[in-house]
Amino acid sequence: MHPTLPLFVTAVICTVSVSPSYGDEPGGRFAEEITKALTADQGVKADKINVRSTSGIVTLSGEVDSFLQKRRAGAIVKQSNAVRSLINDIHVKPGPKSDAMIKEHVEAALLYNNEIATQRIEVGVEDGVVTLSGIAFGWAHRNKAEREGGAVSGVIEVVNQLEVKWDAERSDKAIREHIENLYRHDIRLLGSRITVSVNEGEVVLAGNVESLEMRDLAYDLAWVTAVTSVESGGLAVATHDSASPDGRTVDDASIAKTIGMALNVDNRVDSAPITVQSEDGVVTLAGQVPNLLSKEAAEQVARDTIGVTDVRNDLMVKAEGERDDEAIRDAIVAAFQRHPDIEAYEITVRVSNGAVTLSGEVHSQYDLLQARTVAAAAAGVDEVTNHLDVTTSL
């Protein structure tokens, strides 16, 4: 686990509200802009998605090939600060896989993730709808299980019934101060006005945020240790101006603290014991992570933090338990076979001392990057060389 970070207030969150401009016509310019954003993303087949917008309420409909695409389309829409509400009515086209095969692949995907493999999770599948039940030890693990299950081909929807359990007890005051501190130090929430109330571990959020994406972020950040539920329905989406943070003076202590907090809540690295040091804006990351994806994600978090001028990544990749090259290769091949975007490709995987080499052909740059990401997420992988070629002649 991460070392406990001191919690003290160093900033005040404030806003200056203005009225957003919404597209009032179902087929108007705002809907066209959203369609353009969906079309520009290689992870979404936008030609099968219909967009309607009325007074900032966006409705997505149509049919896509995977739950992964449906979720991705929703995430793209939420990035706009002119969206007040999203209705994601996209249907996922049923695939050829049986429920039994989907169940097997979802269970394998959960085991593939080194951080949630030990959770007490039961998987049920009916007509392509996956239900996750049991116990997750923390919000991050609950969220990861849902993401891993939804990334399996053939899945139409994911119903997450996992109950969050904590081994620690904390006062409501400590929980509230922890959440408020996270909000104050997260640069993505600068300009938001959020109030936090806690009663016997149940958190209620109210106030204003800039976008639905920011509301989701506030919700995720609120799941700190000992929280049993989070209600974010009181968070309204409102656009507003805020001073640019680029001119702020940030000392090394603040830089290290901000990065540490971000790593604590980042789903990709939050279980890794990482230490952060900053000297004149040059950040050094040290410790141990389970895979290359976590190592790279930690570095990206550090580079995206205000005040950082350079990052030295000394993180070591070490998975729980020993995994030989053959086991790593088998795990990656199996992960490719259950991934909706890359399962159809013939990708050659070679592993030598934890270093992975991928070769073959894929349809798009997006699929190439997806394959690389899947390989980097395998426990024990510390390097990925991607020799995949993008070709339209397949």
Nearest to 378 by CA among 108, 162, 152, 68: 108
Q: What is the pLDDT of residue 263?
A: 81
Spatial CA neighbour of 139 closest among 170, 163, 173, 174 = 163
| Amino acid in position 303 | R
What is the structure's pLDDT at 211? 82
Q: Can you give the three-state secondary structure of the chain, one letter per residue?
A: CCCCCCCCCCCCCCCEECCCCCCCCCCCHHHHHHHHHHHHCCCCCHHHEEEEEECCEEEEEEEECCHHHHHHHHHHHHCCCCCCEEEECCEECCCCCCHHHHHHHHHHHHHHCCCCCCCEEEEEEECCEEEEEEEECCHHHHHHHHHHHHCCCCCCEEEEEEEECCCCCCCHHHHHHHHHHHHHHCHHHCCCEEEEEEECCEEEEEEEECCHHHHHHHHHHCCCCCCCEEEEEEEEECCEECCCHHHCCCCHHHHHHHHHHHHHHCCCCCCCCEEEEEECCEEEEEEEECCHHHHHHHHHHHHCCCCCCEEEEEEEECCCCCCCHHHHHHHHHHHHHCCCCCCCCCCEEEEECCEEEEEEEECCHHHHHHHHHHHHCCCCCCEEEEEEEECCCC
What's the confidence (pLDDT) of residue 86?
Answer: 80
At 393 the pLDDT is 56
The pLDDT of residue 143 is: 85
Taking a C-beta distance cutoff of 8 angstroms, is the pair 31, 55 a contact? Answer: no
- Please tell me if the domain spanning 17-92 has the same topology as the one spanning 325-390: yes
As averages over each run of 10 residues, the pLDDT of the chain (394 residues) reads 30 27 56 89 87 82 90 88 80 87 93 78 91 86 88 90 82 93 85 90 89 86 88 70 42 84 73 83 90 88 78 87 86 92 92 94 86 91 90 62
Pair type for strands 157-164 and 129-136: parallel
The pLDDT value given to residue 241: 37
Out of 3.90.550, 3.10.100, 3.30.1340, 3.40.50, select the CATH number for domain 17-92: 3.30.1340
Burial class (CB in 10 A: 0-12, 13-18, 19+), 289: buried
CATH of domain 325-390: 3.30.1340.30
Distance CA 117, CA 141 (A): 10
Q: What is the sign of the dihedral through the CA atoms of 299, 300, 303 and 304? A: negative
How far, in Å, CA of 141 to CA of 136, rounded? 6
What is the C-alpha to C-alpha distance for residues 43 and 46, in angstroms, rounded to an integer?
Answer: 9
Integer angstrom CA distances of residue 298 from 144, 179, 218, 268: 17, 21, 20, 8
Determine how many CB atoms are found less than 10 A away from the CB of residue 292: 24
Does CATH number 3.30.70 belong to domain 245-317? yes
Q: pLDDT value at position 268?
A: 74
Residues in a beta bridge with 193: 208
Which residue in this structure is represented by tokens 């070490």? 318
Residue 373: count other Cβ atoms within 10 Å of its Cβ.
15
Give the count of alpha carbons within 13 A of 337, CB side only.
Answer: 15
Question: Token pair 């609120």 is at which residue?
Answer: 222
pLDDT at 246: 40
> How many Cβ atoms are within 10 Å of 111's Cβ, its own excluded?
16
The Cα 383–Cα 375 span in angstroms is 9
Cα–Cα distance, 215 to 202 (Å, whole number): 17
On whether the CB atoms of residues 144 and 291 are closer than 8 A, the answer is no
Looking at residue 32, its pLDDT comes to: 87
Every domain of the chain and the residues it spans: 17-92, 245-317, 325-390
